[in-house]
Amino acid sequence: MTTVKVSLSKSYDVLIGGGLLGNAGQLLAKITPSRRAAVITDDIVCGLYSQTLASSLAASGFEVSVFTVPNGEGSKNAANFIAVLNWLAENRITRSDTVIALGGGVVGDLAGFAAASYLRGVRLVQIPTTLLAAVDSSVGGKTAIDLDAGKNLAGAFHQPSLVVCDYDTLDTLPVEVLRDGLSEVIKYGVIGDEKLFLHIEEKGTGFDREYVISECVRMKRDIVSEDEFDTGLRRLLNFGHTVGHAIEQRSCFSISHGKAVAIGMAVMARASKKAGYCSADCAEKIISAIKNTDLPTECPYPLYEIFGVLCSDKKISGDTITAVVPEKVGKCVLIDFSLADFNEFLRGGI
């Protein structure tokens, strides 16, 4: 097992190993004297893992309640957020008790935002069961739900008190969902770790779980430690995400987050090459790593549609946008563009 220690406004451990779910009760008992836990999960993960988790918690003396939402991005909505809050209140969960997010990024974001809001904040434990959640969403404290006007538009920073990443849960993940997670791993490789990038290029879906997850979590920890509240360096983690979010939204979420980010990274690589920020070789390496992982690289929508969605993104401040631009594999830079210049820049990639 690998332990990555995170020290932000709150300090916590990210435990990464096989078979950890069956020890979750003991692990949770070490960080809280309370013996009540509210597990939030989705219907697929519930069928696969809630019993193992509940048994482990019960064996350590926890009283456990489970709330299940339908799987998929559509569940990260305001109605479910309110439903979770009401359910926590009906179950008389108090400030000393613990909310556990068991699932992928959707459950992590929804349960995390509920834990941030309920009673102005209760303890949160993340138990990621997708690669994306393991390497990205379960660490760093961002939580959110989607609004009609766009993705992740309501949320809070709320750090977990513990992350238990049992990578044996990836065994049941459909290969498509595993690939979605690999998209984020390629992102980490491009923004800061060429060795990790080469590992994924070589091994594909047969990657070394302990090495890959630990390296990604360490990199996220290091970046977030410099910029917990996302005003500067943390934006590096958005490589491929500005265009990716626009693609996701334009597709009405029929294109998954991972695939949309893969296309977003390919678009940025081509655009960076065209604008002279990176070499043709660098762009080619990024695009071929994405293709080797069987992820898409071509944007299915014309530039004006993507740009339209992008401009309506409430997170864009004023007339400028900060883009994450690759210089080489292992190094990206943040560049401020006017919206007009960014439109021109993207023309080189879409």
DSSP 320-339: EEEEEEEEETTEEEEEEEEH
Binding site for ligand NAD (CB under 6 A): 42, 44-45, 48, 71-73, 76, 103-107, 109, 129-130, 132-133, 136-137, 140, 142, 152, 169, 172-173, 177, 180, 257-258
Q: How far apart are CB 68 and ligand NAD at their closest, in Å?
A: 10
Nearer to ligand NAD, 107 or 282 (CB): 107
CB of 69 to ligand NAD, least distance (A): 10
Using CA atoms, how far apart are residues 324 and 241, in angstroms rounded to an integer?
Answer: 9
Token match 């990578």: residue? 167
Q: Which is nearer to ligand NAD, 115 or 278 (CB)?
A: 115
Contacts 24+ apart (CB under 8 A), 69-72: 69/40, 69/41, 69/42, 69/43, 69/107, 69/110, 70/42, 70/43, 71/42, 71/43, 71/44, 71/45, 71/103, 71/106, 72/42, 72/106
* Residue 130 or 272 having the CB closest to ligand NAD: 130
Provide, rounded to whole angstroms, the least separation between the CB of residue 344 and ligand NAD.
28
Minimum distance from CB of 201 to ligand NAD (Å)?
Answer: 21
Looking at residue 62, its amino acid is F
> How does DSSP classify residue 30?
T
CA gap 4, 130 in Å, rounded = 18
By three-state DSSP, how is residue 125 classified? strand
- Of 152 and 205, nearer to ligand NAD (C-beta) is 152
C-alpha angle 15-176-56 in degrees, rounded to nearest 5: 35
Dump the DSSP string for 203-244: HGGG--HHHHHHHHHHHHHHHHHH-TTSSSGGGGGGTTHHHH
Q: Would you say 45 or 247 has its CB closer to ligand NAD? A: 45
281 by Cβ neighbours in 10 Å (0-12 / 13-18 / 19+) ranks as exposed
Q: Look up residue 261 and give its DSSP letter.
A: H
We find the least distance from the C-beta atom of residue 46 to ligand NAD, in angstroms, to be 9
Nearest distance from C-beta of residue 141 to ligand NAD, angstroms = 8
Smallest gap from Cβ 105 to ligand NAD, in A, equals: 2
DSSP lists the bridge partners of residue 164 as: 15
CA distance 165 to 24: 10
- Residue closer to ligand NAD by CB (options 160, 326) is 160
Q: Pick between residue 181 and residue 349 the one whose CB is nearest to ligand NAD.
A: 181
> Closest approach of Cβ 144 to ligand NAD, in Å?
6
Q: Smaller CB distance to ligand NAD: residue 34 or 238?
A: 238
